[in-house]
Amino acid sequence: MPVSAPTGRVSPIPVGVSMQLPHQAERGHVPPSLPARPTGLRRLTPAMLPTGRLADEFAGGDVTPGQALAAFKAAAPFLGIGPRAAQAIDWLFRFTQPQDWQPGARPIVWPSAAMMAAELGITETQTKRLNRHLAELGVVTMRDSPNGKRYGHRDRSGRIIEAYGFDLSPIAQRIEEFRALAEAGREERAAVAKLRRRASIARASLRQTWETFREQEIDLPAPLRTAAQAASRGLKALDSSQRLKPAVEALEAIAVDARRALEMALAGASREQTSISESVEMCPKGHADVPHITTTNQILYPNKDTVIALKECSRGDLPGRTAQTKPPARQERQERQDRGSSLKLTPDELVRLAPRLVPYLRHPSPSWPEIVDAADWLRHDLGVSKPLWGEACLAMGREQAAIALALVSAKPPGHFRSSPGGYFHGMVERARDGGLHLDRTIWGLRGASAHKK
């Protein structure tokens, strides 16, 4: 088929020429218009033809070589283009100049096969295969001279007046496609990274839950443990956010179920311990200085007043003494069981410093358990997940976790680099390492509040 130079457009097939398949030629039926032997010309493949048509539509414009190359290199990883092909394109762009991309011009470069092989560290045979691969990828098209050689000439101003070789215009034609593909690829990578962080948090929550089961000498829930191992094992093989998201959500759900199972087991142990204490009747008269015990996880972190009251009950309440004979000081201590201070901070002062707690309080003058319940509701507004809240309660204790969350809610939005939830996660990490000092933050809020007054 005749080829016009330098455009490389394929002339139409003459009318009346019959087309036969290669297997027909093997049987001796060779059409007169098709050669029976190789001619030495470049063999065209179906994948090359659209690239040639795309290059013919190039008319120049505002695209510079740097912009075209940057768009290609950003999209190359998401196009499945290997390092060697990307390196070859990068090397070819060294021979093009800005005026080659202006209207009326064409970005053609003509380095020899020997030079290309030497620069890329491959053989000339490998160079030919690589050039064909680039053409089939749709990033270059070949402009062949009548004798099959690559060469070109520029005038005194540097404009190409004749050239045969690699036509880079398909990259300019696809620049918007490359930019969109690169942006979508970056978003996908960010989504995958975020999902893998969520999976790491869920796995850490599960490890903490299993450790607490062992520390409390409670039998581990075998089905949950097996489900967690199976869900975590398959995450590494998932490389897309579409496949990874449901797997991570399933792992997070298992972590939540495991934490609930732990809470139920601890609550059951607390009820059993309370039942045993009542059967022994250490304080049969029900004295006023014995605190009311609420069945929650707070039994893991008893406050000072509770311990003192229990000691006083065990050593001073003799049979026959009534509540009316108790000293007034003990009666006052009982009234402060739910109203005491934590970190030299009362619930009322915490509400004044962190007013976002108010909508979730049942009473205007709350107790510490009510502060903890309100913080559990407030965490939704701050983007703190249930597993992270559970980790905070284990690391700090429920009251201090509630104080920490309330202090986060009192900070202005511009204080956070990422989000309030991320800031709270950092506080939990510092609490585990022993580097969290809530008292400093409390004094800072006190000073800011006094200054406003």
Residue 335's Cβ-side half-sphere holds a number of Cα atoms within 13 Å equal to 5
Predicted local confidence at residue 154, as pLDDT? 93
Say what the pTM is: 0.46
Residue with tokens 């002339």: 11
Domain match, 164 and 238 both:
no
Mean pLDDT for 91-101 is 94
**pLDDT at residue 9 is higher than 80:** no
- Asked if residue 210 lies in contact with residue 255, where contact means CB atoms within 8 angstroms, the answer is no
One-letter amino acid identity for 1? M
Domain match, 355 and 263 both:
no
- Asked if residue 163 lies in contact with residue 152, where contact means CB atoms within 8 angstroms, the answer is yes
**pLDDT at residue 13 is higher than 60:** no
Domain match, 66 and 169 both:
yes
Domain match, 375 and 436 both:
yes
- Residue 232: domain span: 188-267
Domain match, 98 and 203 both:
no
Domain with residue 48: its CATH number is 1.10.10
Highest mean pLDDT among 251-255, 362-366, 440-444: 251-255
One-letter amino acid identity for 156? R
List the beta strands (DSSP E) in 125-269: 141-143, 151-154, 160-167
366-to-57, 336, 340, 358, 372 alpha-carbon distances in Å:
75, 12, 11, 10, 10
Domain match, 133 and 249 both:
no
Mean pLDDT for 287-304 is 40
Look at the chain and report how many structural domains it folds into.
3
Confidence label for 403 from pLDDT (cuts 50, 70 and 90): very high
Predicted local confidence at residue 25, as pLDDT? 43
Question: Is 311 within a domain?
Answer: no
Angle subtended at Cα 364 by Cα 360 and Cα 369, rounded to the nearest 5 degrees:
60
Tell me the pLDDT tens digit for each residue of 20-78.
444 444 444 545 555 555 555 566 677 677 788 888 888 887 889 999 999 999 999 88
**pLDDT at residue 321 is higher than 50:** no
Question: Is 33 within a domain?
Answer: no
Chain centre distance of CA 158:
49
Q: Which long-range contacts (CB under 8 A, 24 or more apart) does 144-153 make?
A: 144/3, 144/5, 144/8, 144/41, 144/42, 145/5, 145/6, 146/5, 148/40, 148/41, 148/42, 150/110, 150/111, 150/112, 150/113, 151/110, 152/108, 152/109, 152/110
Domain match, 111 and 197 both:
no
Domain match, 45 and 169 both:
yes
Which of 252, 267, 282 corresponds to the end of one domain?
267
Domain match, 93 and 134 both:
yes
Predicted local confidence at residue 364, as pLDDT? 83
Domain match, 254 and 344 both:
no
| 362 vs 190, residue with greater confidence | 190
Calculate what percentage of the chain has a pLDDT beyond 70. 72
Joined tokens for residue 248:
């991570």
Which of 243, 267, 291 corresponds to the end of one domain?
267
Joined tokens for residue 378:
């407030």
Instruction: Compute the distance between CA of residue 430 and CA of residue 43 in angstroms, rounded to an integer.
Output: 66
Question: Is 325 within a domain?
Answer: no
Tell me the pLDDT tens digit for each residue of 150-204.
999 999 999 999 999 999 999 999 999 999 999 999 999 999 999 999 999 998 9
Q: Among candidates 362, 367, 427, which has minimal Cα distance to 399?
A: 367
Question: Is 181 within a domain?
Answer: no
Q: Among candidates 416, 406, 393, which has minimal Cα distance to 356?
A: 406
Instruction: Compute the distance between CA of residue 73 and CA of residue 182 in angstroms, rounded to an integer.
Output: 9
- Asked if residue 287 lies in contact with residue 320, where contact means CB atoms within 8 angstroms, the answer is no
**pLDDT at residue 298 is higher than 70:** no
Domain match, 141 and 195 both:
no
